[in-house]
Each structure stands twice: as C-alpha cells, then as structure tokens.
Amino acid sequence: MSSEQVPLSAAALDAADPLASLRDTFSIPSGVIYLDGNSLGALQKGIAERIDRVVKQQWGEGLIRSWNDTDWYEMPMRVGDRIAPLIGAGAGEVVVGDSTSVSLFRVVAAGLGLQPSRNVIVTERGNFPSDLYILEGLQGLRPNLEIRQAAAGQDPAELLDERTALLVLTQVDYKSGLIRDMKRLTDAARTAGALAVWDLSHSTGIIPVELNASGADFAIGCGYKYLNGGPGAPSYTWVAPRLVGRVAQPLAGWLGHKDPFAFTPEYVPAPGIRRFITGTQQVLSLAALDEAMKIWEKISIAQVRAKSTLQTNRFIAQVEARCEGLGLTLASPREAAVRGGQVSFTHEQGYAVMQALIARGVIGDFRAPNLLRFGFSPLYLSFAEIDRAVDALAEILTARSWDDPRFTEKRRVT
C-alpha cells in the first residue's frame, strides 16, 4: 500500500488490505470501534483457550511438574525470542518479565553502574511520567545523581556533556505520537561518552525498530499495547550484546542466577540477558503474551507500518475536513514518517468529547489537560471503521452533544 491510495473508498482499501483477515482472530464487541490499541490491545480469541489449558491442565493437573514438563522455566526467553525480530534484536537477546517500570529501573541502574565517574541522566520533561518517577526514585538512592529534562521542543542532545552517564528516552511520544530519531540521538549520546536507554512501549508492534543497527545500549517495552498481551502483560528487556556480560543486575533474583537450583547464598549471574530475570516469572501472563505473539509468524512489521500510515493519514485528513472550526487542533506530527500509530487532537472539552465518543461505541482515550488520543492497530482495525469513527466525532462536535453532565464527570481511569 502507498500513500497514493488514501483517497480511495474505505471499501476499496479494505478489499486490498493483506491484513484484513486478521480481524476475525480478535474478540471485539459488536458495534465497537476500538481506537485505543496504543493503551490496551484487543483480545485475541486463542488467548482464553491457552490460559484455560495452563490453569486446568498444566497447573491443575501437572502441578509443580509443569515447570519441567511444559517448560515454564524457559518462557521468559522463549517469549523474548518472539519479540526480538520486532525490535531489531537477535535470538537470545530479549527476556520477558515484570512490569515496564521495574524493567526500566533495572536497566537504568545497570547503565549507571557502567558509568561510575558520571552522574547525570538526560531525559525529557514530557517523557511518560512513570519513567520520570523511576528516575526520581534512583535519585533518592543516589543523592549525587542529577536529572536533566529537556523542555518541550528542545533537542535532548543539547543537554549531553562529559558528565552524562545515560540518555533515557521514549522512542514514540505517548501524547503526540512523535517518533524520535533513535540512531541520531544514540550517536549523540555515544559522542558524549554516554549510554542510550530506550523505552519502546509505544513502538513495538507498530513501527520498525532497529536496536542493534542503531547502536542502542538498553531497551525496555511493554506487552499490553500493540502486542495485545492483555492488561498488565509483562514487559521485556534488551541489553546490547557487547554490554550484557559486563552489567550488574541491580535487582538480582534467584531465577537470574547461573544455577538457581544449587541454592547458593552468593549470587552469580546467569550468562547473557537471563540475568535480568529477578524473581519467579508470571506464568499465566507470559502464556497470554506468548499466544498473542504467534500472530507475527504470519505477518511482517513492514505490512503493519504500511497500513498504519494509511489509516492515520486518512483519519487526519477526514477529521480536519469535516470538523473544521469545531475546536480541534492536530497535536500529532503531520508527516507520517515521524508519526507512530496514534493520532492526537486537542479540544478545550477533550474529556467530555471522548466520553461522548465512547458512549457511541468509538473507544479512544483522553490525556490531561485536553488531549484526545486515537490509537490505530492495523491487526484488527478496518478503514470502514475509521470513516464511521469520523462520522461520530463530527456529529458529536456539530451537535455539541458532549455538553452533557454525564460526559463531564471524571472517572478514575481516563
């Protein structure tokens, strides 16, 4: 598919879509247009059956024998190998387990350990808040640690100097969808003598990522957005092969030990990325993510990116044409090459507008103070649904149907 096809009808685009048949492998409620895959991916039909087998057969009948008989032990590495091709990593370079925040803590602390003479972390003020909180937590443990935050629109590379230990960035901005230039920023970090840490939570499964080719040092990412691993799906960790044998894992745990069942009191790290396992892996959630990742045996990230670009282009063009003068302002990059899999618009009453959309069966999300976010997951989203979503948005804004008290009451999760 090329951008020249965007003006075609939705029916023509859906008929030519090589990914269209995948929609039937997902469980999406009738009448729902799901535009929140950048926050929580949809359920694949095989996952419930997989979890049922793990619970009833492997756990219920196999009991502890299943650690060997069904190889629960190797799941963090096996699922990591499924993720590796999507992020430009090799086999045996990715391990899966724990939350994204825990994984970020581990790699940042490990990176700092490789830079003992440096005490500055460079990041962005607009980075995902949890990432900033983790850095603040490390600062509490290391009072001499300085955190420099690039302001909106400022190039983080400007803050790098001879005292910088790490550059810590999210590749795709969670609010705007802006794709940062991983290669350029990693090169800038290396020129300054710093290491580059990347959060790929809004990248993996929606845009091509090239960790090894870019020269990156560390990366983490989540499993519940475009990878569709389920709510709270475990995160993954990658460390450049040239570094992994040198790093000290700050949250050393027994299944990251070289020989965990020797039960020795002294910690000896396992070879390679396995040392980044902290405690016992989450077998149920790993099984769900493992099942979700099987879809990538049939498709390529290039196909996904091509369809995503067409869909986000189409959405922007139609919203701007049909909602002109109704209070929306594009907050995502207009250029597709630097825009990820989401489109964001600002509106003074953004929260109420989104609630009105959700009431109409068009599910996106809201980010304070005024951002409507729409995530496009090409694995299950059709072009016809995009057109219907624009219809609903235009009708809501034109009729001001968002101006209803039931849409203004803030809920805990937005």
**Active site (catalytic) residues:** 128, 199, 224-225, 373
Strands 94-96 and 236-239: antiparallel
User: In this structure, which amino acid lies at residue 146?
Assistant: E
352: helix, strand or coil: helix
Please state, in angstroms and rounded to a whole number, the distance separating the CA atoms of residues 158 and 160. Answer: 6
Q: Which residue blocks in 323-411 are alpha helix, DSSP H?
A: 350-359, 383-399, 405-408
150: helix, strand or coil: strand
Dihedral sign (CA 216, 288, 304, 339): negative
Please state, in angstroms and rounded to a whole number, the distance separating the CA atoms of residues 303 and 38. Answer: 18
* Positions of E strands within 29-158: 33-34, 43-44, 94-96, 120-124, 146-150
Q: How far is CA 161 from CA 36, 119, 138, 156, 298, in A?
A: 39, 11, 20, 11, 45
Residues 6 or more apart whose Cβ sits within 8 Å of residue 247: 110, 111, 113, 114, 239, 275
